[in-house]
Chains A and B, each alone.
Chain A
Amino acid sequence: MDWYPLWNSLRIAGIACVIVFFTGIFAAYYAYRLPGIWKGILDAVLTLPMVLPPTVCGYFLLLIFGVKHPIGHFLQQFGIQFVMSWYGGILAAVVVSFPLMYRTARGAFESFDENLAHAGRTLGLSEKYIFWRIRMPLCRQGILAGTVLSFARALGEYGATSMLIGYTPGRTATIATTVYQLWRVNDDAGAMIWVFVNLAISTVILIAVNLLEKKHG
Chain B
Amino acid sequence: MGLSVNIKKKTGDFFLDVSFETENSVLGLLGASGCGKSMTLKCIAGVEKPDEGRIVLNDRVLFDSEKGINLPPQKRKVGYLFQDYALFPNMTVLQNVKCGSKDLGKAKEYIKKYALEGTEDLYPDQLSGGQKQRVALARMLSSNPETILLDEPFTALDNFLKARLERQIMEVIEDVKAPIIFVSHDRNEVYRLTDTIAVMENGHIVDISEKHELFKSPKTLASTLLTGCKNVTRLKRQENGNYFATDWGIKLCDAPFKDKEYRFAGFRAHDLKMVTNGNEFGKENILHSEIVREVEDTFSVVIQFFPKGLEEKTEYSLLTYETDPSMWNDIKENMDGRTITMQIPDEAIIWMSE
User: Which positions in A face B, CB cutoff 8 Å?
Assistant: 113, 115-116, 118-126, 134, 137-138
> Which listed residue, A116, A125, A134, touches B74 by the CB 8 Å rule?
A125
User: Which positions in B face A, CB cutoff 8 Å?
Assistant: 42, 45-47, 72-76, 78-80, 82-84, 86, 88-90, 99-100, 102, 139-140, 143, 145
Whether B100 and A115, one on each chain, are in contact in the complex, defined by CB atoms closer than 8 angstroms, is no
Which of A115, A119, A124, A126 has the most C-beta atoms of chain B within 10 angstroms of its own C-beta? A119
Q: How many Å lie between the Cα of A56 and that of B46 in the bound state?
A: 48
Q: How many Å lie between the Cα of A123 and that of B96 in the bound state?
A: 10
Whether B82 and A121, one on each chain, are in contact in the complex, defined by CB atoms closer than 8 angstroms, is no
Question: Chain B residues near A115 (CB, 8 Å)?
Answer: 82-84, 86
Min CB distance, A207 to chain B, in Å? 25
Min CB distance, B173 to chain A, in Å? 19
Known: A118-B73, A121-B47, A123-B99. Is A137-B90 also a contact (CB below 8 A)?
A: yes
Which of A120, A122, A123, A125 has the most C-beta atoms of chain B within 10 angstroms of its own C-beta? A122
The A interface, classified by DSSP as helix, strand, loop or mixed, is: helix
Q: How many Å lie between the Cα of A37 and that of B73 in the bound state?
A: 28
> Which listed residue, A118, A123, A126, A134, touches B139 by the CB 8 Å rule?
A123
Question: Chain A residues near B75 (CB, 8 Å)?
Answer: 124
Question: Chain B residues near A120 (CB, 8 Å)?
Answer: 88, 99
Whether A122 and B45, one on each chain, are in contact in the complex, defined by CB atoms closer than 8 angstroms, is yes
Whether A118 and B42, one on each chain, are in contact in the complex, defined by CB atoms closer than 8 angstroms, is yes
Whether B89 and A138, one on each chain, are in contact in the complex, defined by CB atoms closer than 8 angstroms, is yes
> Which listed residue, A113, A116, A124, touches B102 by the CB 8 Å rule?
A124
> Which listed residue, A121, A126, A134, touches B88 by the CB 8 Å rule?
A134
Whether A119 and B90, one on each chain, are in contact in the complex, defined by CB atoms closer than 8 angstroms, is no
Whether B74 and A119, one on each chain, are in contact in the complex, defined by CB atoms closer than 8 angstroms, is no
Q: Which residue of A lies closest to B80 (CB)?
A: A122
Q: How many Å lie between the Cα of A11 and that of B219 in the bound state?
A: 75
Whether B140 and A123, one on each chain, are in contact in the complex, defined by CB atoms closer than 8 angstroms, is yes
Min CB distance, B107 to chain A, in Å? 12
Question: Chain A residues near B89 (CB, 8 Å)?
Answer: 138
| 10 shortest interchain CB distances as A-B pairs | A119-B86, A121-B73, A118-B47, A122-B80, A137-B90, A115-B86, A124-B74, A123-B100, A122-B45, A123-B143
> Which listed residue, A118, A125, A137, touches B86 by the CB 8 Å rule?
A118
Instruction: Sample 19 A-B pairs with CB under 8 A, ordered by A number.
Output: A115-B82, A115-B83, A115-B86, A118-B73, A118-B80, A121-B46, A121-B74, A122-B47, A122-B74, A122-B79, A122-B140, A122-B143, A122-B145, A123-B143, A125-B74, A126-B74, A134-B90, A137-B90, A138-B89
Q: Which residue of B lies closest to A138 (CB)?
A: B90
Q: How many Å lie between the Cα of A124 and that of B90 in the bound state?
A: 18
Q: Which residue of A lies closest to B145 (CB)?
A: A122
Q: How many Å lie between the Cα of A138 and that of B90 in the bound state?
A: 7
Q: How many Å lie between the Cα of A126 and that of B75 in the bound state?
A: 10
Whether B90 and A122, one on each chain, are in contact in the complex, defined by CB atoms closer than 8 angstroms, is no
Whether B99 and A122, one on each chain, are in contact in the complex, defined by CB atoms closer than 8 angstroms, is no
Q: How many Å lie between the Cα of A137 and that of B90 in the bound state?
A: 7
Whether A124 and B82, one on each chain, are in contact in the complex, defined by CB atoms closer than 8 angstroms, is no
Q: Which residue of A lies closest to B86 (CB)?
A: A119
Min CB distance, B150 to chain A, in Å? 13
Question: Chain B residues near A126 (CB, 8 Å)?
Answer: 74
Question: Chain B residues near A118 (CB, 8 Å)?
Answer: 42, 45, 47, 73, 80, 82, 86
**Apart from the given pairs A122-B46, A122-B80, A122-B145, 19 other A-B contacts in the complex at a CB distance below 8 Å:** A116-B86, A116-B88, A118-B42, A118-B73, A118-B82, A119-B80, A119-B88, A121-B47, A122-B45, A122-B140, A123-B99, A123-B139, A124-B74, A124-B75, A124-B100, A124-B102, A125-B74, A134-B88, A138-B90
Min CB distance, A202 to chain B, in Å? 31
Q: How many Å lie between the Cα of A119 and that of B275 in the bound state?
A: 57
Whether A122 and B76, one on each chain, are in contact in the complex, defined by CB atoms closer than 8 angstroms, is yes
Whether A122 and B88, one on each chain, are in contact in the complex, defined by CB atoms closer than 8 angstroms, is no
Q: How many Å lie between the Cα of A148 and that of B89 in the bound state?
A: 24
Q: How many Å lie between the Cα of A118 and that of B140 in the bound state?
A: 12
Q: How many Å lie between the Cα of A137 and that of B89 in the bound state?
A: 10
Min CB distance, A71 to chain B, in Å? 41
> Which listed residue, B42, B84, B88, B143, touches A124 by the CB 8 Å rule?
B143
Q: Which residue of B lies closest to A113 (CB)?
A: B86
